[in-house]
Every structure is written in structure tokens, then in C-alpha cells.
Amino acid sequence: MTNLISTPPAASALSRRTVLQSAVASALVVSPALRAVAYAAGSDAPEKTEVKIGFIPLTDCASVVMASVLGIDKKYGVKIIPTKEASWAGVRDKLVTGELDFAHVLYGLVYGVHLGVSGPKKDMAVLMTLNNNGQAITLSKKLADKGAVDGASLAKLMKTEKREYTFAQTFPTGTHAMWLYYWMAANGINPMTDAKVITVPPPQMVANMRVGNMDGFSVGEPWNHRAIIDGIGVTATTSQDVWKDHPEKVLGTTGEFVKKYPNTARAVTAAILEASKWIDAGLQNKLKMAETIADKSYVNTSVDAINQRILGRYQNGMGKTWDDTNHMKFFSDGAVNFPYLSDGMWFLTQQKRWGLLKDHPDYLTVAKQINQIDLYKDAASASKTPVPKDMMRTSKLMDGVVWDGKDPKKYADSFKVKA
């Protein structure tokens, strides 16, 4: 594929950054009013001006990376250093110890750490949602050859050809585990009793499927599309078919960091909000983003593994192609990024459903502790991002069940298939 950003092969990361910065210079003109917000004197200035943000090699790390590469971070008085991590457990550990200041991280991981059910217990904070949609469940080509190409046909095969079936997710309390479990359960498969579920870091999914370590996996892009390109897997469903416009990754940190460096947290959130807006602004920006994050410093894959699904151009690996309007979104006029309390609460309901939480937590109180609504609103004001009126939202999931956050205990207990 033609290189979308004209740089010589030996160009350094610095020259790539320079080219990209010049390409979007017009988009980054700072108005005096915004500069006043970003560089407000005295107590409003960022307390910490250089921050490390951990990320996992996934397409949805893009807004963190682009905030740095495009120099948007400088506008808000901070320097973002994106730090590539090997696993979600590693991200968790480095956040908890303070080795990382922030992270591109699974929504459910943050909630799990806060409640002490996914490692060491630590007060955590969600500053913003980084993206909606754009994950998928992949089944092995071997299963597809036997007719298991979606939830119903997988359930049928598992009943007729009895053996141990192994499926992978990326972290026990994370989003990918919840999409996998919800999808399986909606198709009559109990993930806790009818299958073996293992944890595998996202970039290792394709290699593990290639050698036969699992029958299916739930992960973010580009690894589902990569499995199709490599001829080892097929897309059984997308996460947006499980829950349209679902919350996915968040900008996470510790409660301690927010208390100690509130202005830094606000500045970083504003910078990433602006980068999110830039990505979703048009086709060329998305293609430049794909070109940038495909680099070995970030996702380390071919551009063609990234650039189709971010535009909604899907194929399932068996000849079916479709245009998905509910593809990965980074901004969508600010609708993506607001840290809805109901979004966080939903992960708690599923953690209770699957036995990760033994008792019902105080759902709303926990969400209010973690999701930094006021700080987000300040960052949204600085980056001119619209803010919704309500802190809760209503969604209908794949099985027709509506989630609105109003009675989380009843919702969590309502599922027939559970641990």
C-alpha cells in the first residue's frame, strides 16, 4: 500500500512526528481564550508536565498516541510519553505502583482494581472513555470448517462434538471477557461450566490460535482482522453487535494521582479529547492515524490490518463483506468520551453475574468514586467538547435486555445463564 505520509524508509520517529505536526498545523491553531485555559497561571497550571501513559498494542490506543505525535499535548502544557506495555496485568501493576501516570486501559480492569477483585486493591479513577465499539470475537478456521461460524452454530457444535473447548480473553474483569461471556451466554453457552477460558495478552492472540492453543478469542482490533489476513480465524461477531456504542478502553489512573495532580489530569484529558476529535474528523486523518500506529513503536502490524475496520469496512474471513456504521469511534461529537456512571456500573453487574464479585456492591457509589465527572467537564470545556446532560444512558444489548443503570442489583440477578 502506498505510504500515506511521505517519509523516507530510514526516517526517524522524530521526523515522522515533524511531518505529522506540519500536516495538521492548521488544526492546532490556539485561540487566546483556549491558551488562557491551557496555560492558566498559578494554581491551574499542570503540576507535573511530563507524564507516562501506558498502552497495549491495539487500534484503540490511537488517541493517546496521536495526542503525543501531533503535539496536541504541548498546547495544554504537558508532554505525553506513550509507553508500550506487554499485558494488561503489567499495565495494572505499573499503574498501582505509580510507574505509569496514566494508561489506555480496559474499563473493567479499573473497576476490578478499585474493588480488589483483579489484583491489589487501590482507589482508581476513570477520566474519560477513549473509544466505543471496534472489538470482535474470532473463532478458529478449524471450527469454521466444522460449521461453527457464529454463536448459534458454535453452541450446536459444542453439544454434538463434545470435548474441552478453550476460549481466550485479555483480562479476567476486562471488557473482552465480558463481551465473550455475554455473547456465549446469549447463545446458551455457560462460559464458566461449558468451556475453558484462559487469559492471553492481545498481541499474542493470533500466534496462540495459530498453534492451536484456543478455539476462539475475544480481543480488540487489529488482531481479529489480522487472524483473517493470516487465514487462521473468522469473525463470529463484533462487540458492537453485542452492545451498540459500548464503552471500551478508558483513560485510567489512580485516585491518588488525581488528588495530587488534578491540573495535570485535566490537561492530559483535554489533550486526548482533542486528539480523539482529530481522528474522527475525516477519512484522511483516520488513514494517517492507521499509518502512524502501525509502526513497530506502537501496534507493530501492517497498515492494512488497521485501516479497513476503522472505516467500517468489514469482512468475516468466509467471503462475507459489509459496511458497519457502528465501527470504532473515538469522538463522535463527544458522545464517546463522557464517563457515564451507568457504563461503569454495567461492568460491576457483569462481574457480579460471573462470580468475580461475591456480593452486590453499592453500584452507584462505586461509579461516582471512580468516574471523574467534574474533572471531565473541565477538560471538555478546555477542549470545546460537548457534554451530555445526563450522567446515565440507556442501551439495548444483543439479547434485547435494556440497561439503564436504574436498578443494577435486579439487572445483575436477572440473567438465567450465570456463574
pLDDT digits (tens, 9 = 90+) for 351-388: 999 999 999 999 999 999 999 999 999 999 999 999 99
Q: What is the pLDDT of residues 278-314, one digit of tens each?
A: 999 999 999 999 999 999 999 999 999 999 999 999 9
Nearest to 339 by CA among 307, 368, 313: 368
Per CATH, 13-132+247-304+329-389 and 135-242 having the same topology is answered: yes
Residue-by-residue DSSP string for 268-302: HHHHHHHHHHHHTT-HHHHHHHHHHHTSTTTT-S-
- The tens digit of pLDDT for each residue in 234-271 reads 999 999 999 999 999 999 999 999 999 999 999 999 99
CB–CB of 84/55 below 8 Å?
Answer: yes
Q: In CATH, which of 3.40.190.10, 3.40.50.970, 3.40.50.150, 3.40.50.720 is domain 135-242?
A: 3.40.190.10
Domain definitions of the chain by residue range: 13-132+247-304+329-389, 135-242
pLDDT over 80 at 31, yes or no: no
Q: Kindly tell me the sign of the dihedral angle through the C-alpha atoms of 276, 277, 278, 279.
A: positive
Going by pLDDT thresholds of 50, 70 and 90, the confidence category of residue 43 is confident
Per-residue pLDDT, averaged over 337-346, amounts to: 98
The residue that leads in pLDDT, 7 or 116, is: 116
pLDDT tens digits, 94-134: 999 999 999 999 999 999 999 999 989 999 999 999 999 99
Pick the CATH number of 13-132+247-304+329-389 from 3.40.50.920, 3.40.190.10, 2.30.40.10, 3.40.50.1950: 3.40.190.10
At residue 42 the predicted structure's pLDDT band, cuts being 50, 70 and 90, is low
How far, rounded to the nearest angstrom, does the alpha carbon of residue 417 sit from its chain's CA centroid?
Answer: 26
Give the pLDDT confidence score for residue 324 in this predicted structure.
Answer: 98
Q: Is pLDDT at 226 greater than 80 in this prediction? A: yes
